[in-house]
Amino acid sequence: MKTKYLIIGNSAGGIGAAEAIREIDPKGALTIVGEEPYAAYSRPLISKYVTGEYDPDGMRIRPAAFYDNKCIDLKLGHKAYKMDAAARTVTLDDGTEIGYEKLLLATGGKPIIPKMEGMGKAGIFNFINLADATKLEEYLPEARRAVVIGGGLIGISATEALIKRGLKVTVVEMKGYILNTILDEPAGRVAEMAVKKYGVNMMTGRTVARILGEDRVTGVVFDDGHEMVCDMVVVAVGVFPRVELAQAAGINVNRGIVVDNHMLTSLPNVYACGDASEAYDYVYGSGRLSPVWPNAYIGGRVAGYNMAGLPTPYRGGTAMNSLNYFGLELATAGMASPPSEEGYEVLVKKGEDVYQKLIINAEGKLVGMIFVGNIDKAGIYFGLMRDRAVVTDFKDKLLADDFGLALLPKAIIEERLTGATAGRVKVGES
């Protein structure tokens, strides 16, 4: 079969691309291939599925009629395993060969599995997608004690779900504090105390060396030889970008698929976005992995516009998170800590269960923020970071109790009120 537009991946990036394509080209043949058997859903909600707060229908990110309304040929439950760039074809796991004019690789990520003895038993789970969550939820009646390997975003999300389901949970984190990819150590300690209040046992600076049991999990052995009884293990160490398809086709791959500012890969007519790609990060000034939902969606839209013939630059994104775990609100973006002491200024404000931190670079621009416990004004700071606003003249007011939009310079307020971009490019503009 042949299609004009072929999208591999049915999550945020793929949906964003499909919507953008249809804005420009309402009728060109458009095919989406999704490895999971589900219509597009919100992966951040899988913990809410485990707790019973959401069902699969409630997790949809688009109505059931979305694909039909957009005239999309949807192929679910199939993996794209071979790509022939010269012939412009992709072959699926059932042997179907799809020819394309324009291709988007929105292949996402796959779970990192650390080296441990005893894998393959009943009671060991990942926590990346709805299938993982469904298997875990079905096993819960047989579990009382769980070990979650990994104290990052995925691990803490899984931990909260398991605690709500009544399990005793131990989190094992290799580094010295939890959520260390988005928080610095002081913020991590505040978050850790909040989690412990719910009865979670924390083991930092440790790893699991072996999982015990014959056919089913009965416990774990830590790297120091200490044993712990449990009947469930959740492996939540993180994700790798899925780059195998691109790599085998000769596309330039670093940690992720390398793209330019139009989301184009090193091959003509082949684009990439989302967790699998290294798109421009305006904080670091280079291409970086940024596995967050909004960046995947926006990157997909930019790719879609370009695939459909509307030249559209990607103005950049950065890592950002707004979360509520164990009753503690968190908002972070950009750097958690500066890469060196020189060339950066760090502003910090601490209080009981509250931690606020801003990082300013040598150009006077915000390049990092951490807010724990009080995130009411986080949107203002992120806006300043996103807009590359120079904050030098009012940096002493940034963490004041009364700081708000009214304290911003007149030029910045006018830009925000009028939508002026002062050198920035909006999605859809060239």
pLDDT of residue 150: 96
**Which CATH code of 3.50.50.60, 2.40.30.10, 3.30.43.10, 3.30.70.360 fits the domain covering 113-237?**
3.50.50.60
The average pLDDT across 124-137 equals 96
Q: Assess whether the region 113-237 and the region 329-418 belong to the same CATH fold.
A: no
pLDDT tens sequence across 106-129: 999 999 988 899 999 999 999 999
pLDDT of residue 176: 95
Which CATH number is associated with domain 2-110+241-307?
Answer: 3.50.50.60
pLDDT of residue 429: 37
Q: Please give the mean pLDDT across all residues of the chain.
A: 92
Q: Which residues contact 379 (CB under 8 A, 6 or more apart)?
A: none
pLDDT tens sequence across 315-360: 999 999 998 989 999 999 999 999 988 999 999 999 887 899 999 9
Q: Which residues contact 77 (CB under 8 A, 6 or more apart)?
A: 34, 35, 36, 37
pLDDT of residue 419: 55
pLDDT tens sequence across 196-211: 999 999 999 999 999 9
Q: Is 417's pLDDT higher than 90?
A: no
pLDDT of residue 95: 95
pLDDT of residue 352: 80
- Within 10 Å of residue 264's Cβ, how many Cβ atoms? 17
Q: Is 414's pLDDT higher than 80?
A: no
Answering whether pTM is above 0.95, one says: no
CA distance 375 to 377: 6
In single-letter form, the type of residue at position 51 comes to T
Fold of the 329-418 domain:
Enolase-like; domain 1 (3.30.390)
Contact call for residues 90 and 103 (beta carbons, < 8 A): yes
Q: Nearest-5° angle of CA 249, CA 301, CA 91?
A: 30
pLDDT tens sequence across 211-245: 999 999 999 999 999 999 999 999 999 899 999 99
- Tokens standing for residue 328: 């503690």
Q: Is 421's pLDDT higher than 60?
A: no
φ, ψ for residue 80, nearest 5 deg: -85, 120
Domain borders along the chain are 2-110+241-307, 113-237, 329-418
- Within 10 Å of residue 151's Cβ, how many Cβ atoms? 29
Going by C-alpha positions, the residue among 142, 180, 136, 188 that lies closest to residue 162 is 136
The average pLDDT across 267-288 equals 95
CA distance 429 to 377: 29
pLDDT tens sequence across 48-100: 999 999 999 999 999 989 999 999 999 999 999 999 999 999 999 999 999 99
pLDDT tens sequence across 365-382: 999 999 998 888 899 999
